[in-house]
Amino acid sequence: MNRLVEVWARQIGWPIRQRNVILEGMIDVRLLRYARQLYLADRGVDIFDRSFAILAAGRGNEGGVDGVNRRLSAARQLAEVDLTRDGAKRFSFIGLFDNDEAGRRAFMQANRFDRRVIPYHDVFLLHPVMPPAGGASGSEIEARAASLNLRFSRLNWEIEDLVSEDLLLSFESAYPDAIVKKTRQGGLTHRDFTRQGKGQFVGYVGRNATLADMLGVVRLVCSLHDYVGLEHEHISAAD
């Protein structure tokens, strides 16, 4: 084993596991980690499998949607030649984009840059409802996602939107200048945060969220487990 992926991951500060999900930035990673901590404290179960890692594309300009594509491309190239003695890949990587204008653009660019990148198999857009893979092809999962989220088709969606409406409203009261716009469709609300507001919100979640507030994020983790081929039946994200 040449350990190319592990050497590279250490150089960029990535705590990789066998199966990895690349997110746009540290704010996204922190929200998933808070959900993990709350679930573990409340139910004694770690929703991050030992083989599973959530990774930030980078900090600041190193992250974002272009950072996801850049890191995903590099990781996949190294993983293709970092094999076990039996010739199997030791590591796998997928990318998740926010479903906003920048995220949708980068999602399309991922496949145009490298035709081996399959939408809804290697890269995903975040939706309010993330359909299970269930052995389906990328095109089948994409069609399911479009159908299940039809009533939200014009609604941008980011990981912050998965936090409970109660906690989001509480945050708005405490930080009225942190949100510049609210858009509602299909009974759900998307919020556009200021740059400073996003940081304030993540800190607020860390101080005030309960597991009930983070069940939407837990459901996302279950979906991501499914997309990388891991079991998640031991995790309950019911309200």
Residue whose C-alpha is closest to residue 96's, from 21, 19, 15: 21
pTM for the complete prediction? 0.95
Encode pLDDT of 12-26 as tens digits: 999 999 999 999 999
Mean pLDDT, range 204-212, rounded to an integer = 98
Mean of all residue pLDDT scores within the chain:
94
Distance between CA atoms of residues 103 and 193, nearest Å: 16
Helix 4-12, helix 64-81: angle, nearest 10: 150
Percent of the chain with pLDDT over 70: 97
User: For residue 231, what pLDDT is reported?
Assistant: 86
pLDDT at 114: 83
Q: Tell me the average pLDDT across 105-110.
A: 94
Q: Who contacts 24 (Cβ-Cβ below 8 Å, separation ≥6)?
A: 56, 57, 63, 64, 65, 67, 68, 96, 97, 98, 103
Q: What is the pLDDT of residues 51-76, one digit of tens each?
A: 999 999 987 767 789 999 999 999 99
> Going along 107-197, which residue ranges are E strands?
123-125, 179-185, 188-193
